[in-house]
Structures are given as C-alpha cells and as structure tokens.
Structure 1
Amino acid sequence: MTMTGPDRPLLHELFDERAGRHPDRVALRDAHGSLTYAEAKLRSDWLAAELRRRCPRPGALVGLHLERGADVVVAMLAVLKSGHTYVPLDPSYPAERLLFTARDARLALIVSDQEVPSELAELPVLRLDGLDRPDGPPAAPPMAPDDVTPDAPAYVIYTSGSTGRPKGVRVPHRNVAAMVRACARRYELREGDVWTLFHSYSFDFSVWEIWGSLLSGGTLVVVPHATAASPQATLRLLTDEAVTVFNVVPSVFRHLTRAARRADAVPSALRYVIFGGESVDIRDVRAWRETVGRSTRFVNTYGITEATVFVTYRLFTDEELDRAEDAPGGDAFAFDIGEPLDGWEFRVVGEDGAPVRPGETGEIVVAGDGVALGYLNRPELTAERFPLLPVPGGGTRRHYRSGDLARLLPDGMFCFAGRADDQVKINGFRIELGEVEARLQDAPGVRELVVVRTVSRIGEPMLTAFYTTPDATARGDGERDERERSERLAAYARRALPAHMVPGRFVRLPELPVNPSGKTDRKALSAWQGHAPRPAATTR
C-alpha cells in the first residue's frame, strides 16, 4: 500500500484527499455509532469554522478535553483545519496536571464534551455537546490555503519531566506524514484495514493509531477506557470488530494472551500486532500463536515522542518464533532494536561522540525526518537535547539525544540496554522518576521518598515508592496502620499524578539505604524483596 495525497504533507489535507476517494467508507467507529469519511470531513469542517471564528489568528494552541470517542479525532482534524495545534487534555488525568498543561501551553481555548474541572475555569471552553450537527458544508472554507505549512506543529504532547515539570513536545505535520509513509513501506497495510485507538490520546502511540489508520484508508475503532482496561473485553472487541492492525505494549499483550486461552472466540482476522514501549517477552508471542494461530505477524519497534513515535522496525520471523528457547541465539532477537525507518537515522555513541565498538554500550541519538521541533517554551532544554552533532562525511545535523542506551553485539545487532538517567517505561509510558518523587515529597507524613522500578509478584514491571516518616520507625505500627498509611499516600498520588505514574506499591522503611558514596541506594531498593504492606488500589 502506498500513501498518496497533496504535495504539501498537511495531515488534514491528506485526510480530505482520502475522504474524496472513498467518501462512503467508515472512517471512525465508537460505542455510539460510525462516521464515514465524508461525515467525518463534514463535521470537522463545521467545527473548524467555529474554531476560526473564536480564534481567527492561526497558530493557537487548543486543548482537547474529550472522552474517548469519534469526536476526539473529529476535533483533532478541526483544530488542524483551522490552522491551530492540538494539545491533549485527557479527562482521566488529575485536574492539577491538566491545569499545569493548560498554563504551560498558554492554551487559547479548550474543546470539551463535559464540564471541565474548576481549575480550568479561567480558560474559554467550547462545548461540543452544545453544538448543532448541520447536514451541509459550512458557508466558507474552514481555513485559507496558506495559513499553515508542513513545518507548523500539528500537536503538542506532554511527557514526564525529571525536575517535576512535564515538558511539551512540538511535532509538525511533516513528521507525522513522513512517519506514516515510512511505516506504510514496511507494513503490508491495506485500504479497509480495521485499526483500534486503544491508547489515551495523551500517549504518543495514539498518533500512529489515528493517522496510520485514516491516512491509509482504514477504519479506526475507538476503544472505550473500560474496555481497554479489561483483557476479556478487549479480546471480544478485537474479535467482534474483525480488527486487523493492533498496537499494544507487551505487558498488556501478556494479559490478552492469557485471556485468549479461555475465550470462546479469538481474533482470527488480526494481521499485525505492533509492539512498542517495552521489551517483548517472546513466550507470550509463542503462546498467542499456539492459541490463536500463525497468521498474525508481530513487529517490535523502538520509538520516542521526540522522534515522532517510531524510530525503528523489527519484524519477528517464523523461523525465530519457531526456534526453541535453548537453541543457539535463544530469544536474543527480541531485544534487537531493528532497522531505522526510511528517513530516520540512529547512531549509538559513547561519551566522546564516537560510534561504539562491538561489546560497548552507548547512547542512542536520532536524526532525520522524525526529529521534533523541540520543547514548548523550553529553549535551553531544547538546545541541550536537540543539538547539532557531526555526521559521517563532514558537517553537522540536528539530532535528538534520547538518553536511551544500546549495546552493539559482535554480529552488528544493537540491543536495548536501558536508560542513562532515572527514566523508566511502565506499561509503555515513559516516566521520569524524578517527576513522581517531586510530586509526592510534599505528601503529609512523608520525610523522604524515593520511587524506583521494581517487579510485581507476577513478574511485571511496576513503580514502588519507598518512604520514611518523621515521627516513628516502620517497625512500630501494625499491618492495618501500615495499610492505611499506604492508602492515604496512594490517594494523594492519584490526585497529583496521572494514573500511569501512580506507584503500585508504597513501602515505609525506618530509613532509606545508602551506598558507599552516601547517596540513596536505588539499586538495593529495586532489588528489594521484603514483606510489603498490601498494595493500595490504583487505577489504570
């Protein structure tokens, strides 16, 4: 499949071109019904005209505070058609986090389908549930042809910040169009494929789900939050909707594999499972093939928000998946970063900036079509993380310093080797531990607090917060008191942080361990195996 469209790679124009080619094909489906490409174009045109009336000067940042549904995508199209940039404000995030995003982005307007939190009352709000749904096109085009260029930011997504301050990543139209085209060359995508919008639109995986589907002529099924939280319900949706392209983080896929073993029906139409955000456990892939069948192809990716979702592609072959675990080479291929997408470049360099040699570990730096515009209103951080670096053959080129590590193996394969700082990935979300700590340090009854990545009792990655209190040793309280302390701290965390950043376990210690340098021994805490209070409930 090849992606065609206007010469200027503007996302809304590429969508309108698709709508002109097959207006009656279903573009979006949610729990309330379906929209054809023509209907989605009409709705987005009307909303764009209203946005231009309220924000006449192009280049404004518009917040989207919408429940998961077709209107999320319609609103994105409308914001782009009106010459503006959309900023996700997932209603499931804490109001305090939404307020920070709104103020940091200096939003001109919020589009919502519900009452916004009182913290956002200072901003003008356009309520979709109060707008008419006209049948005909608007009287005037929603935007003039030259209002925006492909280098204008299409969206700003906020990622975790190491200082406790999230940072907004500015990604232009050109990058997203290039990413979809590059992936279309790697995948055998078809017009009429059925995709899912499985992830929050505040998570960059959703950028690929939305635009990958719509710009290739597919149907995008918007998955309700409650369905996405249930492996059984997700499996039923994949089956009932005959989904063919599914994007998922490996830890979620593990639960789907277990659910498939007990299901009456399985998603036999599924052609692609595309992994991202975490390392893949090949045992889960093999279990899926045993249960569902061998027709599904599995692709691993390495990606970064600052490099427009994906950087590399790695298809798992049948020969690799059929190989015994104890065979030569084993399952090492699961950690292979893979090949860069066409137009993307990545290198692994040491502290001196030179490429690493076999056996060495270095930092992944990315250049090419996917490198974002930088961080919103953070020029110093942008200069630090998006430097001009020398390239082979002479000269310099703009790169993104990922902070991710990779090791070069003797056979030339690059294997992911963790982070150079204290950033971790949990359930596909990139999380700066420093941000979580900064938000929880002020919790009542906490003296010191450290958050580390640990492993749950069933072997899955999770965040654990270790803390001390100012008044007593941890040994003095009973189990009930410890549980109540943990539940209060968890409740505080849920008010201050998005659900994916809330630690799954809170452990009170008499004191935090230190290493010979006198610093908190995070390695010892990560390996901690002591008896913990019962984990406080969290939402996902």
Structure 2
Amino acid sequence: MTHAPTESPRLLHHLFDAQAARVPDRTALRDDRGSLTYAETAHRADRLAARLHASLPGGGDRIGLHLRRGTDTVVAMLAVLKSGHTYVPLDPAYPAERLEFIAEDAALSLVVSDREPPAGLAALPTVRLDLPEPESPPDAAPAAVTDPAAPAYVIYTSGSTGRPKGVLVPHRNVRALVRACDDRYALNGDDVWTMFHSASFDFSVWEVWGALAHGATLVVVPEETARSPRSMLDLLVRERVTVLNVVPSVFRHLVRAVRPGTTPAPGLRYVIFGGECVDVADIRAWRRAFGPDTRFVNTYGITETTVFVTSRPLTDAELDGDPSQDAESGFALDLGEPLDGWELRVLDENGAPVPPGGTGEIHVAGSGVALGYLGRPDLTAERFAEHPAADGPPRRHYRSGDLARVLPGGVLCYAGRADSQVKINGFRIEPGEVEAVLRVLPGVRDLVVVKTVGQVGEPMMTACWTVADHADPGEVATRLLAVARARLPRHLVPGRFVVLPELPLGPTGKTDRRALAQEFTSAPETVG
C-alpha cells in the first residue's frame, strides 16, 4: 500500500508514503526500545493495515489506539489511515471510566492495543501488538478512502459540562497545516523532532505529521522521560533534537532543571510553544544558559481548528530587552499572523468586528476548521456556524470561546477565555487580562488568576503565584498589588493574592486551574 504519489498528496498518510519512497533508509522513528527506518515503518504499517482491513473491510470505521508512547503508536496511526479508517487515541493513563466513555461515544469498531485491554474496552474486538502476528498475514488492503474531506482522527477535549467532546478532523486539514507551516519554518529531512505529547493531545498531530511529512526523524518520548525535566534535557542532547514543540509550563520546568555545566542541546533550531501563554522570562533564562541560536515561536491554536491558527516568532530585540521594563511598557506577546489559509476575526456578541481597543471572541475560518463534534449536532451547530464574510458568500467559522484584545494596527493579544469570566459588582472580568499585566513582573515566576468564592459566598478573583529564584516574596507581593492598582481598573484588581511553592499541572502539562481554585485556601496569603 505504500506508494509515492505522482501528484500532490491527497491523504495524510500519502505525505509519509512520499518520504518512504524518497528516503527509505533514513531513520523515521525512534523510542527507548529501538528505531525504524522509513522503509521498515512503511512495512509494519502496511502489515497492520492489512490486518485491520481484514477485520473491517468497508472503510470509514473508528479504531481506538490504546498504546504506550512508542514507535507502535505512530505505526498504528499510519495503519489505520492506510486501511481507510479514522484513529481515536485512547491514552492508557486515562481512568477506565473515561476510556469507556470515549469507546462508547465514538462507537469504536475495534481497538489496537499493546496489553490486555481494561474492562471498559474488553468487549471490543482487539488487535494485540504485544502478541505474535498471524503466520499468514492477510493480503494488502486496497485504499478504502480517497476523499481528503474524510476524517483522519478524533481527539477528545474536555467539555464545560464535564462531558468530553470528540473533534472530527479530516485529512485535508492536517495537509494544509503542514503546507502552511512550510511557509513559516525552514524544516527539512535533517531535523530531529520529538513526540513529547500524548497522542490524545492535539499538539501530537503536528509533532507526528510535521516530522514525517519532511522525511525527518521523530523521537517518541517515553512518558517517564516526559515527566522528568532532567531526563528530558538529557534526551534533547543525546538525540540531537532540532525541533521541540512544548507547552510553556513544561518549558519552564526544563529551564529550572538547567544547572551550571548542563550540556546544551547542540542543534536545537526551533522551540515552538502552544497551549498556553509564553513567559518571556523563561526564554531569556534559556538563552542565558545556552546562547541565542535557538529560534522561539509562539503559536495560538485550538483542537477544533487543527492545532495552530497563528504563529509569532520572537525577535532577538524582544528577548534581549530589559525585563524590568516589560511591565512598565506593557510588553506582551501578540498572537501573530494567521497561517496561510486560516482566517481569524474578533467579533462582539452581535457578530460585528470589534474596533481597536475592544475585546471580543476569536472566530476562526478557513483550512483548519474541523468537521464538528462527533455525535453532537446541536453543539456543532452552536460552535461551527456560518458568518458573513468581508467579501464573498458566508464562511463557516468556529467560535473559539477565547477572547482577544484588538490593539492599534489590528494587532491581537490573547485575553483569556470567555467562559472563565466572572461577574463582580456588575462588571464582567476576564482573568487572562489580569494575568497579562501581572505575570511579567520581575520576581514572579508564574501567576494565574482563578475564580473563587469569598467568605460570605461572593465571587472574587484570586491571583495564585510562585516566586522566582532569589526574589524576596514580600517585596514581590507588595509590587504585585501596587502594579495591579496602578495599571488595572479597580474592578480588575484581584481580591486576594496567594503565593504557592508550585502551580499544579494537569495531564497535558498545562496549569491545573481547577486544582488551584481548591488549593489556594490552604496557602499563606501574601497580600489581602
């Protein structure tokens, strides 16, 4: 089934097939158990695809991938697509109840696993990769899907009601993502990427297909290594990684793990951030330790719009600036420019464009917009809706729920989540707007603002923060309150500031705001 398309690749796995034909002997995948060339990866994927096709010959089914992080994960992704089906990641670290929910909600037809499946998956037909293959594998399967609009994968995101939502993303979207990023980054087959994230987190989509589409080497990071900053730093050096995609919270832990004499990652060309706001102080600390050769890129994106919407490279001038002036100058990273084929608009509650100085909801149109939510037509209609275009017919937009401030010249700055707003004394408050002002203060390592409840049940904002190394907590706390009062309207000043030893992280590496809302009461207050 592996082939080198003579035309522009139509399907996602065709991007891999083209490289397998071009550089068959180059290392495609590596993990803690070994490595596979492009030819070996193609052979394994084709054999597994034939087994899947023998069980599900029609095409268009959804197949769960219940696999440890390793080369088998990527081989299985390829096999599912080659057999004409859609892959649905099932992280083995997830609770059994969540896995069972996804299996039922996605109506999985089959599971690929490397272990005895848990109770919630046990009733489904399973292809076990930890058991010997059949002695006579089935014949190669014909391509069952030829339409690039067919779904390639379903990734589940948390829902505001507590019910996860399955996002359907077609082949064409990821192809468009790779093509658009080619115009932004100088990526090539000599690069070494990491698959740092779980396949259940959409950042992994870019990690896998961005690497394979360029004929690069993809190092699949074991979960235990991903959880250890020191081990991860060692891996970057040992594997000579050149492209690292990472959530800012994780990058902060990498920076803090650097010690005098730590060997720098010798060829790291790009660090691409996604999923959270970037703290420029962390990048400056990295550059002080390892020099200015690495390029840093901030991105904004959503699962429903295929990983990235915008990208924004950080300049040497910004990174070499005086950090003590950041707060006074109001320096904050803007969202950057939309990728080619993506469109980003900031609209008010009535669907009208927000003028400079205003804040509105980010709407995304264009090449990255997903097909919708699996089995949720009402929610799909609510979040994926047509809006009038500046020119031409109405276009399908995704309502992100994210807010942005429109600065002079049309520059956009992220302003948090619309659904995290809190109403206090009649004012609608977005915590992200407050964080953007306070997080850049010298002496603050990290800071988030969470919605909490006061002593008599009134809603309020609490700023939870951690102190930077060698800073005096009392002095920083005093400065926080002073800057908040000087730069924010009274209704945006947090009612309480709480200093914590660390901010808790969730399973994807992002700050766990729900945990903070429960934890802050046990921490000592630095400012009341």
What's the CA shift for 1:14? 1.6
Distance of 2:306 and 2:463 partners within structure 1? 28
1:112 aligns with 2:107: no
Alignment deviations for residues 452-492 of structure 1 (CA, whole Å, 9 cap, x no partner)? 99635458xxxxxxxxxxxxxxxxxxxxxxxxxxxxxx9xx
What's the CA shift for 1:502? 9.4
The answer to whether the Cα contact below 8 Å between 1:197 and 1:210 also exists between their aligned partners in 2 is yes
Alignment deviations for residues 202-222 of structure 1 (CA, whole Å, 9 cap, x no partner)? 000000000000001110000
Distance 1:222 1:317, change over 3 A: same
Q: Secondary structure at the match of 1:356?
A: coil
Alignment deviations for residues 348-396 of structure 1 (CA, whole Å, 9 cap, x no partner)? 1111211111110000000000000000000111011000100002420
* Within-5 A mapping of 1:260-299: 260-299=258-297
Distance of 2:460 and 2:125 partners within structure 1? 37
The answer to whether the Cα contact below 8 Å between 2:157 and 2:167 also exists between their aligned partners in 1 is yes
Partner in structure 2 of residue 83 of structure 1: 84
The answer to whether the Cα contact below 8 Å between 2:311 and 2:335 also exists between their aligned partners in 1 is yes
Q: Secondary structure at the match of 1:120?
A: coil
Q: Secondary structure at the match of 1:417?
A: strand
Distance of 2:329 and 2:68 partners within structure 1? 40
Partner in structure 1 of residue 100 of structure 2: 99
Which amino acid is the alignment partner of residue 47 of structure 1? L
Partner in structure 1 of residue 142 of structure 2: 143
Distance 1:321 1:152, change over 3 A: same
Alignment deviations for residues 496-538 of structure 1 (CA, whole Å, 9 cap, x no partner)? x999769546859xxxxxxxxxxxxxxxx8xx68559xxxxxx
Alignment deviations for residues 391-437 of structure 1 (CA, whole Å, 9 cap, x no partner)? 00242010100010000112431100001103999xxxxxxx99xxx
Distance 1:455 1:96, change over 3 A: same
The unaligned stretches of length 5 or more in structure 1 are 426-432, 435-447, 460-489, 509-524, 533-540
Distance of 2:21 and 2:75 partners within structure 1? 16
Alignment match of 2:232 (pick from 196, 212, 234) = 234
Distance of 2:41 and 2:217 partners within structure 1? 12
* Within-5 A mapping of 1:9-408: 9-132=10-133, 140-144=139-143, 147-327=145-325, 334-408=332-406
Which amino acid is the alignment partner of residue 124 of structure 2? L
Alignment match of 2:464 (pick from 431, 455, 458) = 455
Distance of 2:336 and 2:89 partners within structure 1? 30
Distance 1:454 1:234, change over 3 A: farther
Alignment deviations for residues 257-291 of structure 1 (CA, whole Å, 9 cap, x no partner)? 12223453110210000001111111111111110
Q: Secondary structure at the match of 1:118?
A: coil
Which amino acid is the alignment partner of residue 81 of structure 1? K
Q: Secondary structure at the match of 2:343?
A: strand
Distance of 2:9 and 2:102 partners within structure 1? 30
Partner in structure 2 of residue 517 of structure 1: none
Distance 1:105 1:453, change over 3 A: farther
Q: Secondary structure at the match of 2:115?
A: coil
The answer to whether the Cα contact below 8 Å between 1:58 and 1:148 also exists between their aligned partners in 2 is no
Distance of 1:505 and 1:227 partners within structure 2? 25
Normalization by structure 2: what TM-score?
Answer: 0.80
Distance of 2:134 and 2:177 partners within structure 1? 33
Alignment deviations for residues 275-320 of structure 1 (CA, whole Å, 9 cap, x no partner)? 0111111111111111011100000000000000000010001111
What's the CA shift for 1:139? 6.8
Distance of 2:229 and 2:198 partners within structure 1? 16
What's the CA shift for 1:337? 0.5
Partner in structure 2 of residue 478 of structure 1: none
Distance of 2:94 and 2:261 partners within structure 1? 32
Which amino acid is the alignment partner of residue 141 of structure 2? P
Distance of 2:38 and 2:28 partners within structure 1? 5
What's the CA shift for 1:9? 2.2
Q: Secondary structure at the match of 1:206?
A: helix
The answer to whether the Cα contact below 8 Å between 1:43 and 1:133 also exists between their aligned partners in 2 is no
The answer to whether the Cα contact below 8 Å between 1:49 and 1:141 also exists between their aligned partners in 2 is yes
Distance 1:336 1:185, change over 3 A: same
What's the CA shift for 1:52? 0.4
The answer to whether the Cα contact below 8 Å between 2:191 and 2:242 also exists between their aligned partners in 1 is yes
Distance of 2:308 and 2:508 partners within structure 1? 23
Deviates more, 1:9-18 or 1:42-51: 9-18
Distance 1:168 1:507, change over 3 A: closer
What's the CA shift for 1:8? 4.2
Distance of 1:452 and 1:19 partners within structure 2? 54
The answer to whether the Cα contact below 8 Å between 2:250 and 2:509 also exists between their aligned partners in 1 is no
Moved over 6 A (4+): 328-331, 450-454, 497-502
Distance 1:263 1:140, change over 3 A: farther
Distance 1:70 1:17, change over 3 A: same
Which amino acid is the alignment partner of residue 100 of structure 2? L
Deviates more, 1:360-369 or 1:6-15: 6-15
Distance of 1:92 and 1:229 partners within structure 2? 13
The answer to whether the Cα contact below 8 Å between 2:151 and 2:170 also exists between their aligned partners in 1 is yes
Distance of 2:463 and 2:325 partners within structure 1? 30
What's the CA shift for 1:68? 0.4
Distance 1:296 1:410, change over 3 A: same
Distance 1:366 1:216, change over 3 A: same
Give the root-mean-square deviation of aligned CA atoms: 3.1
Alignment deviations for residues 14-44 of structure 1 (CA, whole Å, 9 cap, x no partner)? 2111100000000000000000000000000
Normalization by structure 1: what TM-score?
Answer: 0.78
Which amino acid is the alignment partner of residue 82 of structure 1? S
Alignment deviations for residues 137-163 of structure 1 (CA, whole Å, 9 cap, x no partner)? x7743223x533100100000000111
The number of residues matched between the two structures is 455
Distance of 1:272 and 1:197 partners within structure 2? 14
Higher relative contact order (CA 8 A, sep 6+): 1
Distance 1:142 1:391, change over 3 A: same
Which amino acid is the alignment partner of residue 185 of structure 1? D
The answer to whether the Cα contact below 8 Å between 2:54 and 2:138 also exists between their aligned partners in 1 is no
The answer to whether the Cα contact below 8 Å between 1:268 and 1:293 also exists between their aligned partners in 2 is no
